[in-house]
Amino acid sequence: MALLAAACRQGGAGDTSRTVIRFSGYAGNPAETDLMKKLVADFNAGQKEIKAVYEPVPGQYYPKLLTMLVSKTAPDVFYLDILYFEPFLAKGIMRPLDDFMAKSRLDRGVFIPSLIDAFSDDGKTYGIPKDFNALGLFYNKEAFEREHLAPPDATWTLDKLRDTAKALTKKYPSGHQQYGFALTHDNIDRYLPVARGFGAELFDAKGACAMARPPARDAMAYYSGLKLQDKAAIYPSEVGSNWTGDAFGRQAAAMVFEGGWLIPYLADSFPKVPYGVAELPRGPAGRSNFLFTVAYVIPTTSKQPEAAWKLIEFLTSEQAQRQVTFALPSRKAISARYAAARPEYKAILAGADYAQPYEFGPKGDRIKDRLGVAVQEVFLGAKEPARALADACEEIDRITKL
C-alpha cells in the first residue's frame, strides 16, 4: 500500500509544486462531459500553479455530493442546480464569492441578471451561472406536413395544442403508430408550466400551498386529459424511452415540451428527424416556462478556495463560454450572439425571458417530489385531480413547516 502510494507520488512528481483542486459535475450528456474535459485540460495547460482534476459523477449526483460534503471530501468546485440552491443555502454549504469577484474585477453585469440573481441571497453571490435552458415546443415537421397542418407559431394556445395533438394521433398504413404529444406523468416538469399558464401558483402570498385551487385543478384536468380522454399523448416508457425527447426522436410523438438540450441530442442520435421549435403555447392566463440553470460553487469545506475560484473564473470566461453547444451561455453578450447563429434556439431564448427558475424554496426538492406524486396519482387513476392536489398541498404545507 505504502509502495503504491509512493509510486503514485513519483508518477506525479512534475506536479508537486502545483495546488491540486477537484471539480465535479454530473455526467449528463456526453457533449458536456467532453467539453468539460477539454476546458479543464486547457486550464491546466494555461498556467503552472494549479492542477484541476475533473471528476464527473454518473447518476445520483446530489446524494453523492451531500455525503462527500458531510465527510469533508467534497470537490473544491462543483455544479449546483438551481433546484438545490436554497436547500444547500439553508445548510450553509456554499462560500460567498463576492470578495473573489471584486479581486478579479468580475462584474455581475456581464451575466444575464435573472441567472446570477437566482444564485444570490441577501446581497451575496454564491454561484456563477455556467449556462441555462428553457423549454420549447418541439414539433416534427414531417408529421405536420403529412396531415396538412400549419406548424406551431406564436399565436398557439393550449387548446390549439390539444386539437392538433388529436389530429396527429394516427396509425399509418406502414404500421407506424404516431401520437400527438409525449408528456411526463410522474413529475411536475411539464405539468407545472401548463398549470402556471392556467394561472396557478405554487404558493400564495402567505406561503401556503396554492396548488389545490381551481387554476391548478383545471390545468390538471387539461394535462391528464391529453392522455386519459383524448388518448393523444404517451409517456416515454410506453415506447421504451426514458425521456420525452427520446420518444420525439423515435417519432413516436409528433410534439413535446423539451429543453434546448434536445437539439444536440437529436443531431447526434436522430439526425434525420426534421424538426422545428416554437414557444410553449399560451394558457388561459398567459405564458409560462421553466428556467433551468446550473452554477459553479465553492463549498466552505474547500481548503483551496483561491485556486478553486481561478478555475471558476476560467470556466465562465468568454473564451470558455463560446465553446458551449448544449445550452445557452450565461454571459449576456455571448448568449445573444449564440442564439443569432442558431435559429433553433430562438424560441428557447424567448421562453427564458418570462421563465420562472426551476426551484421551489428551501425544501424545494421534496416539494417537487410530492407534487409529482399527485400528477402520477391522477394519471394512474388512483385519485381525482381535486383530491390528488388537495392531499399533496396538505403534505407540502407540512414539509414547509418542518
Partner 1 sequence: MTRQRPRGSPFKLGEAIAGYTFLAPFLAVMALFTAWPLLQALWLSFHSYDLFSPARWVGLDNYSYLLTQGDFWISIRNTALYTAVVVAAQTVLAIVLALIMDQSIRGKTFFRVAFFLPSVTSSVAISLIFMFIFFKNGVLNQALAWLHLEPLFGWGGLGTPVDWLGDVKTALWAIMAQNVWSTAGFFMIVFLAGLQDIPESLYEAARVDGANPAQQFRHITLPLLRPTTFYVVTMGLIGCFQVFDQVYVMTEGGPLKATLTTAYLLYKEAFVNFNMGYACAIAFVLATIIFAITMVQKRVMGE
**In the complex, which residues of this chain contact partner 1 (CB under 8 A)?**
63, 66-67, 69-70, 91-93, 186, 235, 237-240, 366, 373, 376-377, 380, 382
Q: How far is the CB of 400 from partner 1 (least distance, A)?
A: 15
Task: Pick the closer one to partner 1 by CB: 117 or 186.
Answer: 186
Q: Distance between CA 244 and CA 252 in Å, rounded?
A: 10
Task: Pick the closer one to partner 1 by CB: 237 or 269.
Answer: 237
How far CA 283 is from CA of 96, 195, 213, 215, in Å, comes to 39, 8, 16, 11
Taking each helix axis from N to C end, the angle separating 385-401 and 214-228, rounded to the nearest 10 degrees, works out to 130
- 3-class state of residue 257 by DSSP: strand
Contact 195, 372 (CB under 8 A): no
| Measured torsion, CA atoms of residues 7, 8, 9, 12, in degrees rounded to the nearest 10 | 120
Task: Pick the closer one to partner 1 by CB: 12 or 63.
Answer: 63
H or E stretch at 173: none
Q: How far is the CB of 240 from partner 1 (least distance, A)?
A: 5
H or E stretch at 86: helix 85-90
Q: How far is the CB of 85 from partner 1 (least distance, A)?
A: 16
Task: Pick the closer one to partner 1 by CB: 325 or 376.
Answer: 376
Cβ neighbours of 286 (radius 10 Å): 11
Task: Pick the closer one to partner 1 by CB: 91 or 337.
Answer: 91
User: Helices in 105-182 by DSSP H: which ranges?
Assistant: 113-118, 141-146, 158-168
Q: How far is the CB of 375 from partner 1 (least distance, A)?
A: 11
Q: How far is the CB of 65 from partner 1 (least distance, A)?
A: 11
Q: How far is the CB of 205 from partner 1 (least distance, A)?
A: 28
Q: Distance between CA 218 and CA 201 in Å, rounded?
A: 13
Q: Distance between CA 354 and CA 236 in Å, rounded?
A: 28
Task: Pick the closer one to partner 1 by CB: 165 or 311.
Answer: 165
Task: Pick the closer one to partner 1 by CB: 66 or 285.
Answer: 66
Contact 280, 353 (CB under 8 A): no
Q: How far is the CB of 91 from partner 1 (least distance, A)?
A: 5
H or E stretch at 181: strand 177-182
Q: How far is the CB of 156 from partner 1 (least distance, A)?
A: 29
Q: How far is the CB of 374 from partner 1 (least distance, A)?
A: 10
Q: How far is the CB of 186 from partner 1 (least distance, A)?
A: 7
What is the C-alpha radius of gyration for the chain, rounded to an integer number of angstroms?
23
Q: Distance between CA 365 and CA 353 in Å, rounded?
A: 24
Task: Pick the closer one to partner 1 by CB: 37 or 91.
Answer: 91
Taking each helix axis from N to C end, the angle separating 30-46 and 305-315, rounded to the nearest 10 degrees, works out to 120
Task: Pick the closer one to partner 1 by CB: 91 or 103.
Answer: 91
Q: How far is the CB of 3 from partner 1 (least distance, A)?
A: 22
Strand partners, 171: 177
Cβ neighbours of 282 (radius 10 Å): 18
Nearest to 153 by CA among 171, 169, 137: 137
Phi, psi torsion values for 25, nearest 5 degrees: -155, 170
Task: Pick the closer one to partner 1 by CB: 19 or 187.
Answer: 187
Task: Pick the closer one to partner 1 by CB: 93 or 311.
Answer: 93
Q: Distance between CA 40 and CA 19 in Å, rounded?
A: 14
H or E stretch at 243: none
